[in-house]
């Protein structure tokens, strides 16, 4: 790189750093639903309606009932008051309630311990400042404060750059289509299925979560095999484990 190019790159980096310094990350407010929806469109351009419910929820100011788990909608606002980034995270409540491996009373507890990043986007003109990382960092801190222990993100192969992005943000990646296995009690493993083309990544928000080798049975007359990718232990907090019972 020549001297002029280096100077241009340094000037650009300075402008971006200054721009990033003027950013406020906060929860989305009623009236901002449509702006958030517009920001999130690039996450799923083929399904422009997919964020309508989220937009309505933000505008209504509705809060998730505690027994349905966690819900967080963050926005990044620049110094001119313009929204330039959004992140939404929610507990995987439907998967947890549909599982028959955990007794009913403990499903809300597990739901509150896990959140999935449903969408993350930065406006094209604001990219390059790692605003997405700032949104992720805030989300992690806020979710952790609410008792969340595990954060999950799924993405499609067409977004292969996200593998590097989320790895840099501290997530661990599973192979394409590989389910995430969550150890509830000794010998009780709850698999979270993944779409065959999707890739799941996860990040522990507490040091109490460990990834451990485990065996699982595939059928009544078949020998146990190692769980691919291992099992996450400690997702259900110890105080819940002590009183929970698998069905």
Ligand X SMILES: CC(C)(COP(=O)(O)OP(=O)(O)OC[C@H]1O[C@@H](n2cnc3c(N)ncnc32)[C@H](O)[C@@H]1OP(=O)(O)O)[C@@H](O)C(=O)NCCC(=O)NCCS
Residues of this chain that interact with ligand X (CB under 6 A) are: 42-43, 119-122, 127-133, 155, 159, 161-162, 165
* Nearest approach, Cβ of residue 128 and ligand X (Å): 4
C-beta of 43 vs 64, nearer to ligand X: 43
Torsion of CA 177, 124, 116, 49, to 10 degrees: -90
- What's the token pair of residue 207? 């040091």
Compute the distance between CA of residue 159 and CA of residue 233 in angstroms, rounded to an integer.
29
C-beta of 134 vs 244, nearer to ligand X: 134
Q: Which residue has the tokens 């989305």?
A: 28
* Strand (E) or helix (H) holding 120: strand 114-122
Q: 33-40 and 52-60 helices cross at what angle (nearest 10)?
A: 150
C-beta of 23 vs 185, nearer to ligand X: 23
* Nearest approach, Cβ of residue 119 and ligand X (Å): 6
* Nearest approach, Cβ of residue 188 and ligand X (Å): 30
* Nearest approach, Cβ of residue 229 and ligand X (Å): 21
Strands 210-212 and 150-155, sheet pairing: unpaired
Whose CB is nearest to ligand X? 132
C-beta of 42 vs 187, nearer to ligand X: 42
């Amino acid at each position: 790189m020549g001297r002029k190019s280096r100077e241009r790159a340094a000037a650009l980096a300075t402008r971006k750093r200054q721009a990033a310094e003027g950013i406020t990350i906060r929860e989305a407010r009623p009236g901002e639903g449509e702006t958030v929806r517009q920001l999130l469109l690039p996450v799923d351009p083929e399904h422009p309606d997919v964020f309508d419910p989220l937009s309505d929820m933000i505008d209504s100011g509705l809060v998730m009932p505690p027994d349905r788990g966690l819900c967080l909608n963050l926005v990044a606002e620049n110094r001119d008051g313009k929204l330039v980034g959004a992140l939404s995270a929610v507990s995987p409540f439907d998967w947890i309630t549909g599982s028959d491996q955990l007794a009913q009373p403990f499903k809300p507890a597990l739901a509150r311990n896990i959140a999935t990043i449903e969408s993350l986007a930065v406006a094209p003109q604001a990219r390059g400042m790692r605003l997405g990382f700032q949104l992720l960092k805030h989300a992690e801190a806020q979710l952790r404060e609410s008792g969340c222990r595990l954060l999950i993100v799924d993405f499609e192969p067409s977004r292969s750059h996200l593998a590097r992005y989320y790895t840099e943000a501290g997530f661990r990646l599973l192979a394409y289509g590989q389910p995430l296995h969550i150890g509830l009690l000794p010998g009780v493993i709850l698999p979270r299925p993944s779409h065959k083309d999707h890739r799941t990544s996860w990040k522990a928000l507490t040091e109490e979560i460990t990834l451990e080798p485990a065996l699982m049975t595939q059928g009544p007359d078949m020998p146990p095999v190692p769980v691919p990718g291992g099992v996450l232990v400690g997702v259900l907090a110890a105080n819940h484990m002590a009183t929970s019972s698998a069905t």
